[in-house]
Structure 1
């Protein structure tokens, strides 16, 4: 059943690459635009749909979760294949988009940290008096 999760990823990957190629053609570039990201979004959407309709066995879900955890290494490997030198020579757009992405991430993280309630954080931090091993050392 875990293999079904891998098969589901393969279908989503092929669709994502196809849609990324179509998006690249629509934008007038001769490359795939966001195929891996689109594939992962499709995988998330299909998994949520299948869970909601009770069509996702536990073992299949484990296969999907495995590939969901592999998302970052896959994206890093795909990005390593890109020709960054040519992108930077082609104009400052790549550099500006990278700086903008880092800036947006920093702002979103700051907003999330500021909106989180201190009570929730206090509940997550273990107290010394709750742990008998740590209480003896005080």
Structure 2
């Protein structure tokens, strides 16, 4: 069911925003630090956990995939609303947090892609119902 995808996305988003706000308070920055990125990582981890432990039906997996794909434009829209110049004037903490979150996300993606050994794709048959007449033939 697609509604499970919405519920999982909402929980991950709320948790990411709360953790991002807490990081902002701990670092002395008056804004959310990496909350959207944290929410995306939580969504990926929750989906993988549910898939491995059999807690995700085909419909639920479709819903999570659908809303996960829509989540990227939301992240871009939220990032476009942030004032980067003000964050950089706030001190080097914002720059360090930005670089750290990018590195952490990159390492997480690399770890996930290296740890998941999927089945190889089947070979496609060469003849797909299209016949090509030889040159000079009928």
Find the aligned partners of 2:53 and 2:45 in 1 and give their Cα distance: 12
Provide Cα deviations, 1:23-52, integer angstroms capped at 9, x if missing partner. 111111010011111111111111111111
CA RMSD of aligned residues (A): 3.4
Shift of 1:69: 1.0
Higher normalized helix content (fraction of residues)? 1
Aligned length: 113
TM-score, reference length from structure 1: 0.64
Using CA pairs under 8 Å that are at least 6 residues apart, name the structure with larger relative contact order, 1 or 2. 2
Find the aligned partners of 1:46 and 1:16 in 2 and give their Cα distance: 13
Shift of 1:77: 0.5
After TM superposition, which residue ranges in structure 1, 4 or more long, deviate above 4 angstroms? 87-94, 129-138
Compared CA separation, residues 41 and 134, structure 1 to 2 (3 A): farther
For residue 67 of structure 1, what is the aligned residue in structure 2? 67
Shift of 1:132: 6.7
8 Å contact 2:20–2:38 — kept in the other structure?
yes
Give unmatched runs, 5+ long, in structure 1: 106-123
